[in-house]
Structure 1
Amino acid sequence: MAALLLLVYLLPPPPSGKKRAVKMTVREALSHIVRFHKSCRNLQETTSSVHGKQPYILAVGTSRRIINDYYIVVDSHFIPCKAKSSISAFDELFKAHYVFGICYDQALHNMYTFVQTTIYNIDVGLCHESPRVKDLRAKLFN
């Protein structure tokens, strides 16, 4: 999971402009992918403070190092992940975008596009890629 989260640092949110959304820091972008929830608290408390329709991973455990369960949260609904590892939870998160027909979060568009074209080989050459995504893939394969 650390390698996937590193992609957010390598492919940061795009700069904001007049027509784009407010600039988001890398730390805020990371919270759009995965959030931690202590298992002793109520799950509904976590989603009540989140505004937005983008799916994210909710990691539930006694500490950030000891995660017992993963959920994909979409529109405040919990979808339990079958797998018990963080990488499998990200796999389910990525696939949730396709199953529910959800566009990528604007701040994470570069990271998701890289994963889509480089790891899953979906729409390579057909989807719009930023120069940063193309450059990172070229460095990875050369």
Structure 2
Amino acid sequence: MVDDALRQPLKRVGIMGGTLVAAGLVVGGFFALGGHRGPEQGARLAADTFLTRLAAGNIGGAYDQLCNETRERVEREDFVAGIGGRPAVTSYKIDGVVATGSADATVSAALVDPTGAITPYELRVTDDRGTWRVCGNPLDAG
């Protein structure tokens, strides 16, 4: 009798533990497989971060969103001076994202300056060693 009394709670703990492990595997698998961003999603997020920093006046932070290849060609000071010499971006709207490969995309956006003028802008975005970043020449408006 005593053994049966102990077995029931242990059996319930075992079932509960097994259920939790199975649920953890399902949730973990969902995030592991769903965590990989396709070109459109990764590019949109990278462009959004870059443009948000520009709109906030955080030009140095926007520079940090550039891919390594671009940062090797464009010095921080040149980027800050180049962007600083243009009308400020007060807001923006991402109009579209087109994948140009499995690790590249073009993001089209409309930039709004303090006067309300809207300038179309294209950004080349690439998966740079596992992180989506703005690449190419971000000082050129598309």
Q: TM class by shorter-chain length?
A: under 0.3
Q: TM-score, normalization: structure 1?
A: 0.24
- Kindly name which structure, 1 or 2, has the bigger radius of gyration based on alpha carbons: 2
Q: Name the one with the larger helix percent.
A: 2
